[in-house]
Amino acid sequence: MAPKDLAGELTEQLVGLQRVLRRRLRRGLSAPPLRGAQVELLRLVAAQPGIRVSAAARELYLAGNSVSTLVNQLVRAGLLRRQPDPLDGRAALLDVTPAATDRLRAWDVRRNELVRERVADLSEEDRTALTAALPALRRLAESLQQELSPQLTEDLERIPDHLAQVPEHRPQVPRVPRVPQDVP
């Protein structure tokens, strides 16, 4: 397959797989579904407890005001805690709540069970092909991540934490397209 065809087919299949997984898993939710950016932020904070809002914005390639909005939504939903940074009272440190941890874990368990069942239904040849493709998919993801950022990271790092949270001082940062995330 030509690289252009491979890129289009790969993108179509990954996006389609993500969409189907999200739809299937949302059926059994008792709580309202979260948007992709909310889930990305929760997963980041769960992986890096105590992260500042500005650092989360850099990691997610979002403007500080966008992350502040997500933080406010998730705090109201009882999924995120925001506390003043003891080193800089103008900045906030983030941590997930037990409810968020439980919700993310339940989503992951359900998603993994669903995929495990479907993979088990595939032929041995297909399972072997999927296993063989995983290292290349990881390298592709790393390459895309590395490519994203020199200038954008530099721009975001120039924004002090306290200015990223004040509406009249929010610089406009270009949005970078992201791969949709699971939405518990």
Residue spans per domain, the chain? 32-109+150-169
* pLDDT value of residue 171: 41
* pLDDT value of residue 3: 64
pTM above 0.85, yes or no: no
Task: DSSP for 38-97, please give it.
Answer: HHHHHHHHHHSTTEEHHHHHHHHT--HHHHHHHHHHHHHTTSEEEEEETTEEEEEEEEE-
* pLDDT value of residue 30: 79
Residue 11: which of 149, 148, 137 has the closest Cα? 137
* pLDDT value of residue 183: 53
Pick the CATH number of 32-109+150-169 from 3.40.50.20, 1.10.10.10, 3.30.450.40, 1.10.150.120: 1.10.10.10
* pLDDT value of residue 31: 80
Residue 88 dihedral angles phi and psi, to the nearest 5°: -155, 100
* pLDDT value of residue 143: 87
Give the burial class of 64: count Cβ atoms within 10 A of its Cβ; 0-12 exposed, 13-18 middle, 19 or more buried: buried
Question: What residues in the chain have per-residue pLDDT under 70?
Answer: 1-4, 147-184
* pLDDT value of residue 42: 96
List C-alpha distances in Å: 40 to 1, 71, 163: 33, 11, 23
